[in-house]
Structure 1
Amino acid sequence: MEAFQHQLLTLTGALICFCILVKCIRFMKCMFAHIWSALPQTFFQSLGEWAVVTGAGDGLGKAYSFELAKRGLNVVMISRTLEKLQRVASEVEQATGRKVKIIQADFTKNSVYENIEKSLQGLDIGVLVNNVGMLHNPFPCRFLNGPDIDENLINCNIISVTKVCNTLFIYVTSIIKGLILNLSSGLGTFPCPLYTMYSASKAFISTFAKALQAEYKAKGIIIQVVAPYGVSTPMTMYQKPGLITKTAEEFVSESLDYVTFGDEIFGCLAHEML
């Protein structure tokens, strides 16, 4: 019995050491990204002329739109509020000199995808950022005490990812290259009570995207899950940025340097440590 316990403890210790080693390697890759796997300056432009960003009106979507435009891509911005889209699109065009196309779409409704597909026809699309999402409730609450918006959350956080991927795959797979970033959350990497619906929806994104990458990796398409923890956005009620909580601009700029770092990343060095 003692021999078995000793072997069990040894095996457990070895597994813990292995997990720590993997974590350290990921950390070192992020810390020395420009040495470990530096992206060519023309990497994003080589994928296509246009990037498509959902939930682009503010927060991470707005930051992705700006950063991808800075890296040489024209941007299709998709979001619900037309006035906000028009304002941000104008800012992106003036700041970067790139073309911007806007599509108004409320992803809580399943009737928007036909118009999105028509609006994207004829564009050389190389990058998709599946960013749109919503919280079931901005404050922690038990499942039965939350607002009755389950269908809206499922449509916005889950159905939108599958539908937009399905639409964009027509363009991406036809050119045998491309990048699809699926925004999940650190809260989707483990069961998260009091944010049950949100956590579960983000876990779906992670599983879906990883399976999709396994299916299409051989075609040269990068499909990556980005699972941030604290980012200061309207969804997080603009938490004060600090060591862990990043501004949307900081997070996006760093995360785009890691697009070749595997099927799932946390997006920045600080979040890799968690």
Structure 2
Amino acid sequence: MDFPELIFTLLGAAVVLYYGGKLALFSRMLFPKWYFPLSKTFFTSMGEWAVVTGASEGIGRAYAFALADRGMNVVIMSRTKATLEKVAEEIGETTGRRVKVIVADFSEESVFREIEEELKDLNIGVLVNNVGVLPTFVPCKFLDSEELDKTITKVINCNVKTLCKMCKIILPGMENRNRGVIINVASGIASFPFPLYTLYAASKVFVERFSQGLQAEYRDSGIIIQAVAPFGVSTRMAGFQKTNMVTLLPEYFVQKSLQYVRAGDKINGTVCHTLLAWLLQSIPLKLFYAEIVLQGLQDYVKKKTANRSNVPRQAHAAHPEVKVRTANPRKHTDLL
């Protein structure tokens, strides 16, 4: 075998091994109960309480309900007191778990001292860092953002600083007990540099890298730290888009993603979102960055924005197996 033939043979073998390895890893996503088994008491064994930021609606609300369903008391945080209290009442009435409400505007600098005081006596086993802000629903260039200075500050405070501060508050207790789970909600659009959502996508890259580095530091302490990077989820941030195979209900997405909490330091949460991540990462960036593609993205989102007033009513049709929570008046709410 001459040298060029040897090079091509080795290159071909490397490609086969690489994609074979990815296929083997993907196959585990199809059977989470076999590859990533969780006992019924897995979450409650981590601690008595779960803390969820951005819990008044969407993915955060779904995490709060899901963890309460698994036997945990929950602390829910957001900036809207009335909405939080309503969610707290529903969680208490439907699950029987205790709920603590903390009103916090994470775009402000001074909220964390009060949060730390409120949480100091709780045995916290799970932290979900979900709160985040999208600078603008309709994609635009960085300099075209309205009130750019305020936007920069808000995105960094909500999407970056809050993540670090909440870990600083809660991680020491987990380290002392040698157990705990931290789930940091990132975004699928952070899979590659994403123009027109540049600031938001970059902030979510921080979420991924921070989570992965922190997991390497604290894995030996028995703590699971995981970045969850969804693509389409029908929430207010996504304009309540109609659900389909890619755009999922928050409740459905959270239930599926919790099955993979032991699957590594970064997941996309569901099989379809994992496939979508691989597909997007295989597209040459020059093609994605073409002016016609970017303009098409803007036009698509503007159209969705114009029609989104009719979307929430239709948002539950694609996942009939997921039931949206409603209050049960026969159960008691323990609202702290």
TM-score normalised per structure 1: 0.95
| 1:126 is aligned to 2:128 | no
Which residue is equivalent to 1:53?
Answer: 52
1:1-27 deviation digits (Å, cap 9, x = unpaired): x955x5565455444433422332232
Which residue identity lines up with residue 51 of structure 1 in the other structure?
Answer: A
2:99 match: 100
C-alpha separation in 2, matches of 1:55 and 1:16: 42
Question: 1 CA distance for matches of 2:132 and 2:172?
Answer: 23
**Cα shift readout 1:15-65 (whole Å, capped 9, x = no counterpart):** 443342233223221211112222101100100000000000101000000
Which residue number corresponds to residue 192 of structure 1?
A: 194
Q: Which amino acid is 1:235 matched to? A: M
Paired letter, 1:30: M
Q: Which has the larger radius of gyration?
A: 2
1:169 Cα deviation after fit: 1.2
> Match for 2:237: what amino acid?
M
Q: Give the 5 Å matches for 1:113-152.
A: 113-147=112-146, 148=148, 149-152=151-154
TM-score by length of 2: 0.78
1:85 paired to 2:87: no
Larger RCO (CA within 8 A; separation ≥ 6): 2
Across the aligned residues of Structure 1 and Structure 2, the Cα RMSD in angstroms comes to: 1.4
Distance in 2 (alpha carbons) for counterparts of 1:194 and 1:13: 37
Write the distance in 2 (CA, Å) between the matches of 1:235 and 1:11.
47
Structure-2 change in CA distance of 1:43 and 1:7 (3 Å): same
Superimposed CA distance per residue, residues 145-199 of structure 1 (whole angstroms, 9 cap, x where no aligned partner) = 1121111011000000000000011221111100000110111121101100010
Whole-Å separation in 1 of the counterparts to 2:114 and 2:226: 26
Q: Summarize the Cα distance change of 1:58–1:124 in structure 2 as closer, same or farther, 3 Å threshold.
A: same
Unmatched segments (≥5 aa) in structure 1: none
For 1:18 and 1:62, the matched residues in 2 are separated by: 41
Identity value in percent: 46
Return the offset for 1:121: 1.5
1:252 counterpart letter in structure 2: V
2:247 & 2:176 partners in 1: Cα distance? Answer: 38
Tell whether the 8 Å contact from 1:243 to 1:270 is kept in structure 2 after alignment. Answer: yes
In 2: Cα distance, 1:84 partner to 1:7 partner? 65
Counterpart in 2 of 1:246? 248
SS at 2:76 equivalent = strand
Deviations 1:80-119 (CA, angstroms, capped at 9, x unpaired): 1111100111111111000000100011111000010000
Q: Which runs of 5+ in 2 are unaligned?
A: 277-336
Deviation at 1:143, TM superposition (A): 1.0
Of 261-270 and 11-20, deviating more is 11-20
What letter matches 1:139 in structure 2?
A: V
Partners of 1:187 and 1:12 lie apart in 2 by: 30
- Find the residue that maps to 1:235 and give its secondary structure: coil
Offset at residue 245 of structure 1 (A)? 1.1
Tell me if structure 2 keeps the 8 A contact 1:26–1:272. Answer: no
Q: Aligned AA for 1:265?
A: I
Partner of 2:317: none
Q: Give the alignment of 1:8-19 within 5 angstroms.
A: 9-19=8-18
Q: Is 1:220 aligned with 2:222?
A: yes
